[in-house]
Structure 1
Amino acid sequence: MNQVAPTQKSKNTKLRPSDRRQARKKAKINNKGIYLRAIKDAFIKLNPIAAIKNPVMFVVWIGTLITLAVTIDPDLFGPTQQRNPQLFNGILTGILFFTVWFANFAEAVAEGRGKAQADALRSTQAETIAKKLASEGSISEVPSTSLRQGDNVYIVAGDIIPADGEVIMGVASVDESAITGESAPVLKESGSDVASSVTGGTRIISDELIIRVTADPGKGFIDRMITLVEGAERSKTPNEVALTVLLAVLSLIFLFVVATLPAFAYYVQSPISIPVLIALLVALIPTTIGGLLSAIGIAGMDRVAQYNVIATSGRAVEACGDVNTLVLDKTGTITLGNRLAEEFIPINGHSMQEVAYIALIASIFDDTPEGKSIVRLAERLGARLDFDPSRASAVEFSAKTRMSGTNLANGREVRKGAVGAIQGFVRSRNGRETPELDTAYQRVSQQGGTPLAVCLDQEIYGVIYLKDIVKPGIRERFAQLRRMGVRTVMLTGDNHITASVIAQEAGVDDFIAEATPEDKISVIQKEQAEGKLVAMTGDGTNDAPALAQANVGVAMNTGTQAAKEAANMVDLDSDPTKLIDIVSIGKQLLITRGALTTFSIANDIAKYFAIIPVIFAAANLQSLNIMNLTSTNSAVLSALIYNALIIPALIPLALKGVKFRPLTANQLLKRNILIYGLGGLIAPFIAIKIIDLLITAVGLA
């Protein structure tokens, strides 16, 4: 293929102030559109077929229809003794209607955020003209929709990347804000594990690239994201189903309780009308959590999406909250990622220049960041090739051999790799071992680095010191997970000494050194056999079985298609550390659901003690009216108005989530009871009393 001449770099890659103002304006328009769409969708969800999916709110909806009928005909269920019953029943009907509508609105807002994200992604899919490269190097302009997997495309600064692909030539800055939301450009280059993948719809803003298309039209990453984010049918998670059943049972119990009250009221000569009974039932059933339950689940997936992670289902997000064990790779997760050559250590009487020369030969075909750093260090020390590389052949690295290198034209073999692997290679060729190798090995390992031995045929020349740096703050994050009861296990292909140094510095609970791909799935199965839920990250094809086995599998966007299909989450930023954030979001989802459930039940208790004494005032129970509410009508209306208004008041909390704190289950329970339990008891008394005074002031009591 002919290499295309480089273009001039773009000098201005930053957002101008006018661009920022335009982005803020667009965000406001989008928010406004979400709420307008939610208002319309809230009415659509009043359809009985849709309403019956939420048993608690369906009871309220049935009650609304009954009170509407009684408003039209106050004597429908017999003569009424109420003063101006149509006005009271009409107000009651309106309050019940808005209670149902507010619950629908909460769910519609949560769904609208996902649809808005899908619309934003869809806007990046406009058809573009692609510069397709032919095998002889000629360029032809074709529609992006005509590209197929395996096609090569040439793109320059200012072009929209026409399809998902892999960089095979060039280095350039790419604006991925349409996908990740991050305005800072990302450097893309060939031969990099984390920076060679590009996504269709993003824009190249400097230099030039040649990419190989990896997805056919309609099967790109944005297409899959839209399908996942916009999913019209959201299946409920197991915890959601269990809580829905519990709320339905509680509603049924309160229905039986309310059904028995007329007989008791007749006995104490304090008759209760049908509308008041319905109001009492609605006040007692857990409408707050019933109205917000779906919104909490949808918002959990949305919060994951805000971290640039696409979840295939709410089940995966919820499972994150129950995770007991995190299985993490060392490189790129616990350490900064690309290990760089720091030093050459000569042994067996060889000089530094000889080690640099052999290391250079062993790495000339290694396009990984580690390999490139070895080449740079060797050249800095004066090493130069004295043969034609095109006459040599590359030996690719494999997890089985744990080494790579170069076969020269004269039949000589140069290798670099794990110390144990190189020792085995040398022994197989009747080479000799030396204590100096063990000394160099120990020195590098004890510093937390990775030692690689280099050899020519049966002679070991020295050790390469690859420096690993633990990510700042990672120890504190693992400590937070430990306080939440989450155990961390580090997997690494490094030797035991290096692994133990890194594990101690990072603060992980356990580690497995010299790990193979098979070890990953073994660790997961062992943990699951003990009844634990396991999460892990991966990006390679050999990670796919382990990702499928894990309860939560997070694949990197830069990973292979097999890894993405096996996982139930995909990280757009390809940051393995994101797994820690995802676990926190999952736990926040469960905490939010628990907090609002506690608040809702506490509300019901408070409303019970506010309404019942007033209803039975004629039976000399007025002394129990501790709130001194004006009348039965006033108490009922006050309780129901509060019951309706508390749902929209809690929508922001349901969507944003309760602030996450790394606490144990017992600590979280105590905190929920103290804040949301006690708050749920006190808030209704204060609010109902204020509403009662207002109702009395306007003459509705």
Structure 2
Amino acid sequence: MNQRLKHLFHSKVIIRAFLESILKLNPKLLIKNPVLFVLGTASFIICLLIVFPVYFHTEDQITYNINVFFVLLFTILFANFAEALAEGRGRVHADSLIKTRKELKAKRLSNDGSITVVAGSELRIGDRVLVEMGDLIPGDGRIIEGIAAIDESSVNGESALVIREANSKNSSVIGGTFVASDWIQVEITVNPGHTFLDRMVQMVESATRQKSPNEIALTTLLAVLTLIFLIVVITLYPLAEFVGIHLEISSLVVLLVCLIPTTIGGLLSAIGISGIDRVTRINVLAKSGKAVETAGDINTVILDKTGTITFGNRMAAAFYPVKGVSPEQLVDAAVLASLFDETPEGRSIIELGKRHHNISDLKAYQGEVISFTAEERMSGLNLNGSFFRKGAVSAICSYITVRGGHIPEELGERSDYIARKGGTPLAVSKDNHILGIIYLKDTIKPGIRERLSYLHQMGIRTIMCTGDNPLTAATIAHEVGIDAYYAESKPEDKLQLVRAEQSEGKLVAMTGDGVNDAPALAQADVGIAMNSGTSVAKEAANMVDLDSDPMKILDVISIGKQLLITRGAVTTFSIANDFSKYFAILPAMFEASMPQLQIFNIMQLQSPTTAVLSALIFNAVIIPLLIPVALRGVTYKPMSANQLLSRNLAIYGVGGLILPFLGIKIIDTLLNILN
């Protein structure tokens, strides 16, 4: 039995789910699910037949009615158990998180290097803590020094250790997880009350779960089907009496129960609840189950280039001066423009400059720092009356043009050459003169083309948004197989792109981490913010990726589609089951009055009583048998909608037709042996 199956059937989960399933027999709770409410009403009617047999002339059927009552009762309990099991898993998880949260201790580091042991609840954003082997990480944060193997099973249920290290995309850590080796220094990034543990506890303990549009639509369909079958069964009794056929009330109740889609009705809530649990296990915090299911219907995915499609650690690879400018002049200006740029790109420009040219002591330079902004797309330094700038070629050209400067003829050619190589050209200027180009080299992530192909197989359109120039964007897009790209994008461009796609009736997903991504993340149907990103982005999104891996969106979409397919598969199986059960119940109901209907008794069931009970018992037993499928989900493979439909019909449609024949026959045989 694998780790997830053990987690699914943990003794604490089972016990709590069993108790919850009894409490859920409350009619006020049952009425929220039309199928279960009808089951409850049917059980109550059978109970009346047992308690008042004289009034209903059922004195000779008490034993039979008692059997029917208990089977119906267990059917409701099994259906409630499925939902309670899904909820219970989260609650047991929440209990362990609450316990962990209360017990967390932190070794807080002061500026002089001394260590003070404090409660985890006292930590605030910016605090630094030492976490050694055997310690629990006291709060959400990022590793600023060291590397360690961390056990995150308390969060995601996976026993495999993960490696987290400083200065990498795997530097984020979660409070309550266990350091299994080495040591790390962690900078706290979240205040108490807003940590992953707190969010998980709040989410699990919330009173209600928001239903998705698909779930609401399916619930409505089940209610309509239930009403139709209820009318059919109610009118069947007077029609039968009119033609001289007497039907027992208990048999009509059993017919109704087997007609209505009890299987999907009992498992519907469990399938929806399990979606949040599954994304949690890939270290994604979903703020609602609706967001998880919406991911399954996504038509368009908007991706950033840097850090998503490429590694994002763009490093300076070469300097290309324009005519009339010496390499030394270009390097000096590039270094001065990057002097106070703390990004990896800025540091790499300085390091490359030192290797190419003898640069004097940089600490001696002091001036007005011009910070980079998404709108201006340039940065630099004002020093001793000179203005040094570096940035996107188009931005620098506009800057120089406004100042009355001249754009060198060969600038565009050299910029295009770098862009065609998949690099990013940065123009460098001093005052109103462009001195040349810096070649920033980036590397496409291995396997990204295959992962994007996976999205295409799902029928999802991919769009790349980047601040790079059109040639670089086109080169990268062609190499990895992106459907469309938008170059030199500003924050408002991303928002407009999301709205444009939505105006065509499409559902849009996107990832982001900055303040400039927040409007688009909020507008997108599924917005996934990186845990390493700004608090504004995380508040705007409806999901947060704790590993800060932008391509995690693929896993989220797969889980969303798996949820939808699971619901469709169980629905198909449930309807197919109902068809098969007719061959057991109808011949049994009309055997005395219409012997010719025995031709439909193709299962050769022993008696009308065992036939009805066998169908009813199978109807009850199939629900708990499908609980693992509902909670773990049907295996999803990317394919077209027609292929998915054919696959579901072949497996769950045909299987749903055949299995009841076998199951009912086996139960009928066992009942006759016991009798």
Whether the TM-score (by the shorter chain) exceeds 0.5 is yes
Structure 1 residue aligned with 2:57: 78
Deviation (angstroms), 1:174: 5.6
CA contact under 8 A between 2:148 and 2:183: conserved in structure 1? no
Match of 1:35 among 14, 17, 22: 14
Q: Deviations over 1:34-92 (max 9, x none)?
A: 22221222222222222222110121122223223323443341245x5xx23222221
Q: Deviations over 1:285-326 (max 9, x none)?
A: 100000000010011111111121111111111111121111
Structure 2 residue aligned with 1:217: 192
Q: Given the alignment of the two structures, is residue 128 of structure 1 paired with residue 105 of structure 2, yes or no?
A: yes
Structure 2 residue aligned with 1:65: 44
Match of 2:279 among 293, 304, 314: 304
Match of 1:492 among 445, 457, 466: 466
CA distance in 2, matches of 1:239, 1:25: 27
CA contact under 8 A between 1:325 and 1:533: conserved in structure 2? yes
Partner amino acid, structure 1, of 2:166? K
CA distance in 2, matches of 1:115, 1:197: 25
Q: Given the alignment of the two structures, is residue 610 of structure 1 paired with residue 584 of structure 2, yes or no?
A: yes
Query: CA separation of 1:246/1:26 partners in 2, compared to 1, >3 Å: closer, same or farther?
Result: closer
What's the secondary structure of 2:166's corresponding residue?
Answer: strand
CA distance in 1, matches of 2:346, 2:478: 27
Query: CA separation of 1:129/1:525 partners in 2, compared to 1, >3 Å: closer, same or farther?
Result: closer
Deviation (angstroms), 1:675: 2.1
Partner amino acid, structure 1, of 2:411? L
CA distance in 1, matches of 2:529, 2:544: 5
Which sits farther off after the overlay, 649-658 or 109-118? 109-118
CA contact under 8 A between 1:296 and 1:589: conserved in structure 2? yes
Query: CA separation of 1:137/1:584 partners in 2, compared to 1, >3 Å: closer, same or farther?
Result: closer
Which runs of structure 2 are paired with 1:132-171 in the superposition (5 Å)? 133=110, 142-149=118-125, 152-153=127-128, 155=130, 157=132, 162-164=138-140, 170-171=144-145
Count of aligned pairs = 665
CA distance in 2, matches of 1:267, 1:493: 79
CA distance in 1, matches of 2:418, 2:503: 37
Match of 2:417 among 425, 435, 443: 443
Q: Given the alignment of the two structures, is residue 48 of structure 1 paired with residue 27 of structure 2, yes or no?
A: yes
Which runs of structure 2 are paired with 1:521-670 in the superposition (5 Å)? 521-618=495-592, 619-620=594-595, 621-670=597-646
Structure 1 residue aligned with 2:672: 696
Structure 2 residue aligned with 1:294: 269
Structure 1 residue aligned with 2:363: 388
Match of 1:251 among 226, 235, 244: 226
Partner amino acid, structure 2, of 1:110? A
Query: CA separation of 1:156/1:47 partners in 2, compared to 1, >3 Å: closer, same or farther?
Result: closer
TM-score, normalised via structure 1 length:
0.88
CA distance in 1, matches of 2:672, 2:464: 66
What's the secondary structure of 1:171's corresponding residue?
Answer: strand
Query: CA separation of 1:485/1:30 partners in 2, compared to 1, >3 Å: closer, same or farther?
Result: closer
What's the secondary structure of 1:75's corresponding residue?
Answer: helix
Match of 2:451 among 465, 473, 477: 477
Match of 1:281 among 256, 260, 265: 256
Q: Deviations over 1:532-578 (max 9, x none)?
A: 11111111112111111111111111111111111111111111111
Which sits farther off after the overlay, 380-389 or 294-303? 380-389
TM-score, normalised via structure 2 length:
0.91
Structure 2 residue aligned with 1:513: 487
Structure 1 residue aligned with 2:380: 405
CA distance in 2, matches of 1:235, 1:617: 47
Structure 2 residues not aligned, in runs of 5+: none
CA distance in 1, matches of 2:310, 2:316: 15
Which sits farther off after the overlay, 548-557 or 389-398? 389-398
Which sits farther off after the overlay, 606-615 or 138-147? 138-147
Deviation (angstroms), 1:465: 1.9
Which sits farther off after the overlay, 685-694 or 638-647? 685-694
Structure 1 residue aligned with 2:77: 101
Structure 2 residue aligned with 1:16: none
What's the secondary structure of 2:427's corresponding residue?
Answer: strand
CA distance in 1, matches of 2:410, 2:393: 12
Partner amino acid, structure 1, of 2:86? A
CA distance in 2, matches of 1:384, 1:156: 40
Structure 2 residue aligned with 1:91: 67
CA distance in 2, matches of 1:363, 1:683: 70
Structure 2 residue aligned with 1:5: none
Query: CA separation of 1:534/1:383 partners in 2, compared to 1, >3 Å: closer, same or farther?
Result: farther
Which sits farther off after the overlay, 213-222 or 585-594? 213-222
What's the secondary structure of 1:577's corresponding residue?
Answer: helix
Structure 1 residues not aligned, in runs of 5+: 1-22
Deviation (angstroms), 1:339: 2.1
Match of 1:186 among 164, 186, 189: 164
Partner amino acid, structure 2, of 1:546? A
CA distance in 2, matches of 1:608, 1:498: 64
Q: What is the CA RMSD across the aligned residues, in angstroms?
A: 2.9
Structure 1 residue aligned with 2:91: 115
Structure 1 residue aligned with 2:394: 420
Q: Given the alignment of the two structures, is residue 234 of structure 1 paired with residue 209 of structure 2, yes or no?
A: yes
Structure 1 residue aligned with 2:316: 341
Which sits farther off after the overlay, 597-606 or 685-694? 685-694
CA contact under 8 A between 2:301 and 2:510: conserved in structure 1? yes
Query: CA separation of 1:625/1:28 partners in 2, compared to 1, >3 Å: closer, same or farther?
Result: closer
CA contact under 8 A between 1:348 and 1:460: conserved in structure 2? no
Which sits farther off after the overlay, 556-565 or 343-352? 343-352
CA distance in 2, matches of 1:634, 1:644: 15
Partner amino acid, structure 2, of 1:39? F
Match of 1:360 among 335, 338, 348: 335
CA distance in 2, matches of 1:246, 1:672: 19
Partner amino acid, structure 2, of 1:333? T
Match of 1:326 among 281, 288, 301: 301
Partner amino acid, structure 2, of 1:678? V
Q: Given the alignment of the two structures, is residue 375 of structure 1 paired with residue 350 of structure 2, yes or no?
A: yes
Deviation (angstroms), 1:638: 0.8
CA contact under 8 A between 1:394 and 1:406: conserved in structure 2? yes
Deviation (angstroms), 1:519: 0.5
What's the secondary structure of 1:323's corresponding residue?
Answer: coil
Query: CA separation of 1:674/1:165 partners in 2, compared to 1, >3 Å: closer, same or farther?
Result: closer
